[in-house]
Structure 1
Amino acid sequence: MLVIEFKARANAAQSAAIDEAIRTAQFVRNKCLRLWMDQKGKGKYDLNKYCKVLANEFEWARKLNSQARQASAEQAWSSIANFYRNCTNNIRPVGYPRFKKHSRSVEYKTSGWKLLDLKRIRFTDRFGIGELRLIGTYDLGYYTPEQIKRVRIIRRADGYYVQFVLSVEVTADRQPTGKAVGLDMGLEHFYTDSTGHHEPVQQFYRQSQAKRKRLQRRLSRKAKGSRNRAKARQRLARHELKVSRQRKEHAKRLAYCVIQSNDLVAYEDLRIRNMVKNHCLAKLIQDAGWYQFRLWLEYFGKKYGAVTIAVDPAYTSQECPRCGAIVKKSLSTRTHVCACGCELQRDHAAAVNILRKGLRTAGHAGTWLLDNQNAWGDLTSTVQHSGAEVQVES
């Protein structure tokens, strides 16, 4: 699947109509979730059938396109299915489905919209959204209308966006490099690879805190319900959106560089939801953006044909990469020193262990990479600002 996003140019009346459609989609989703809670044994198709009951019961719910109502019911069932899966796999917390209070999107399937040309779309439900102009550089003419499976309208702090979900298999050719790398995520460095190269951490949230506090003070001084308060809240929301986009772009560029430089990438399978329970490190962990980096690694790995392996991080920072002995260390101990004579920076040693775990998981694929390497696992390294093909020498 491929998602293409455009910014939509909408006037005040169209913005009000989009907001009403979003609220209606949220209502349908919450009502379907309530049906599942109240009546035992309801399944996915029961929720889809319930959409017609809601349309007959509420006149304003009928304004939303029938397939858009079904898409909202499918979103409710997606949260229910995730809950069942977590219970089956004994994942904690299981994530019991919750009602949505502030939805920001409405999704249409193959009806309720019509693409007029490459830069204009018209929504045909009864909310009166009408024609929206699309702003962006993507070329929809490259794809057939049958490949467009979903259309979403998303509200963000800086306006409205239209997403097209395309049924397209995204692949690209890449010359094999014959190299593999293990990545250890950290707070002192964003990641350390199995050659000892450290990628510096970019604390976008920490760097923007001064401006954020200033905007929050201005917001708190405005009278509740006033127009000036709405403007101040909008400025704060745009600032937060900018910080999140900076973090996303940073993770995207690093992941692209790593995938272009290696045929196999091993990384830690971190449970970030459990890690942020440490209130001393929660802000730093959230600001690092490890999970977003992992998502882009997996996406680019699939696109360019590289192998990405998530390994269990247990004892990767305690085990000696030379002899395999367990050397207990606290978080404040940043150097690995073993009785066998191995002395490495802590994150470097962990990255080597992660790479070895990844190679064992992959079977025989890539084991030849260790034949002529030393015990440190000096295979390859990545440099963000030097181009995708440039490597750090061991």
Structure 2
Amino acid sequence: MLLNQKYEIYPNEKQKEMLDRWLQYCRQTYNSALLDKQRKYNRSNESYTRYDMQTQLKLDKKKYSFLKEVPSQPLQEVFLRLTKAFDNFFRKDAKYRKLKKYKDYNSMTFPQFCFNNKGNRYAMSFSQNGKLFNKKLGEIDIKLHRPLEGIMKQLIIKPQGEKWYAIFCVERQAVPRTMDSHNAVGIGVGLNKYAVLSNGMEYENPTFLREKEKQLKKAQRKLSKRKKGSVNYIKQVHRVLHLHEKVANQRRDFLHKLSYHLSKDYGVIVVEKLNIRNMVKNRKLSKSISDAGWGMFRNMLDYKCEKNGGALIKVEPHFTSQDCSSCGERVKKSLSIRTHICTKCGTVLDHDYNASVNILHKGLEQLLVMN
């Protein structure tokens, strides 16, 4: 299995300028290849392949000397990224690709990495001092707060706010899965309670964005009064970014801890296959749904279950909150009604708890079919 391990790096000002410049060259190469692909298809109805892009890059390097400043690996990875994007589009998993703006292209990938700086063909490596090393950048300080475990596959350099991060993609041997139906739990996510388990446990919704909303509004009002491009404007932009980064970090920390404990405690976890993209179209609930981070939580559960030898089962969400978990009678009710009262057997349960039990039943049925 592949896992990403993220570490903060500390480039100096000169290195930051060079990294930012490389990012923009990669973005321009991406946009240029996208336009070439569109032009070729419109003229001759033929595909502009990755080989064609690499051939054009060789010609561009002779014409534009600034492209030689960037290591070849991140530039070539741009074409792989564009090819995958179009493959996803044709599979109807993504929208048609658009030209990338400055803020949209925020990472570059080094597909090869080594632990010493002897090899000339490696664009990034570790120096003898335990720092990131590149011949053009020099040594970059890195905070290795946990050991790198597994076979190194690639390195991603990414700015986030005012900080820079190195993300190592490592391959580890997955723990064999144990489909233990006796140690299974269903999870129903919501906005009042973040998660309700089928065994009755509840986790409160921390609503990090809502708590910082007043501060964000105040900071953004101040930003709107500053003269665009001035020193005070730039300072205020950084304050707003810092608040958003704080909220994102709090949410990510909460979800990491919750998903870790659940994947450790249960062998089989069952969740709903929610279409979050459609759910956020509801203008009254979109902010709260985005703040909850259900999609991120599901992705974390997925890889952590695999890492710990468990299994994550996704079931269709149809009628999980309507059906009675005791007798199966369908009791129609709106989302505003938070108590399930069965008209057939008289069962009275919390709305979310009833849904989580139904989710577990669906997951166990699916597990029997799988086995």
- TM-score normalized by the length of structure 1: 0.83
Matched, 1:129 2:132: no
Q: Give the aligned partner of residue 369 of structure 1.
A: none
The 3-state SS of whatever aligns with 1:320 is coil
Listed one character per residue, the Cα deviations across residues 298-332 of structure 1 (whole Å, up to 9, x for unaligned) are 11100011111010001111112222222111111
Q: Give the aligned partner of residue 351 of structure 1.
A: 356
Matched, 1:97 2:97: yes
Q: Give the aligned partner of residue 109 of structure 2.
A: 107
Q: How does 1:172-183 map to 2 (within 5 A)?
A: 178-183=182-187
Structure 1 unaligned residues grouped into runs of 5+: 367-394
How many residue pairs end up in the alignment? Answer: 353
Q: Give the aligned partner of residue 39 of structure 1.
A: 40
Q: C-alpha separation between the residues in 2 aligned to 1:57 and 1:325?
A: 72
Q: Give the aligned partner of residue 164 of structure 1.
A: 168
The 3-state SS of whatever aligns with 2:155 is strand
Q: CA deviation at 1:44?
A: 3.9
CA RMSD of aligned residues (A): 2.3
Q: 1:83 aligns with which of 86, 89, 97?
A: 89
Cα 1:313/1:222, change in 2 over 3 Å? same
Q: CA deviation at 1:364?
A: 6.4
Q: Give the aligned partner of residue 22 of structure 1.
A: 23
The 3-state SS of whatever aligns with 1:117 is coil
Q: Give the aligned partner of residue 266 of structure 1.
A: 270
- Report if aligned partners of 2:174, 2:309 keep a CA contact under 8 Å in 1: no
> One-letter code of the match for 1:328?
K
Cα 1:214/1:45, change in 2 over 3 Å? same
Listed one character per residue, the Cα deviations across residues 111-143 of structure 1 (whole Å, up to 9, x for unaligned) are 32232136312223xxx4222111232335x66
> One-letter code of the match for 1:139?
P
The 3-state SS of whatever aligns with 1:166 is strand
Listed one character per residue, the Cα deviations across residues 128-174 of structure 1 (whole Å, up to 9, x for unaligned) are 4222111232335x66xxx3332222112132122222233354999
Q: CA deviation at 1:348?
A: 1.2
Q: C-alpha separation between the residues in 2 aligned to 1:4 and 1:196?
A: 34
Structure 2 unaligned residues grouped into runs of 5+: 42-46, 113-121
- Report if aligned partners of 2:177, 2:310 keep a CA contact under 8 Å in 1: no
Cα 1:177/1:354, change in 2 over 3 Å? closer
Q: Give the aligned partner of residue 118 of structure 2.
A: none
Q: C-alpha separation between the residues in 2 aligned to 1:118 and 1:362?
A: 50
- My pick for the range that moved more, 147-156 or 205-214, is 147-156
> One-letter code of the match for 1:333?
I
The 3-state SS of whatever aligns with 1:363 is helix
- Report if aligned partners of 1:14, 1:129 keep a CA contact under 8 Å in 2: yes
- Report if aligned partners of 1:177, 1:262 keep a CA contact under 8 Å in 2: no
Q: C-alpha separation between the residues in 2 aligned to 1:44 and 1:342?
A: 61
Q: CA deviation at 1:179?
A: 1.4
Q: C-alpha separation between the residues in 2 aligned to 1:239 and 1:348?
A: 34
Cα 1:282/1:8, change in 2 over 3 Å? same
Percent identity of paired positions between Structure 1 and Structure 2:
30
Q: C-alpha separation between the residues in 2 aligned to 1:134 and 1:173?
A: 35
Q: Give the aligned partner of residue 384 of structure 1.
A: none
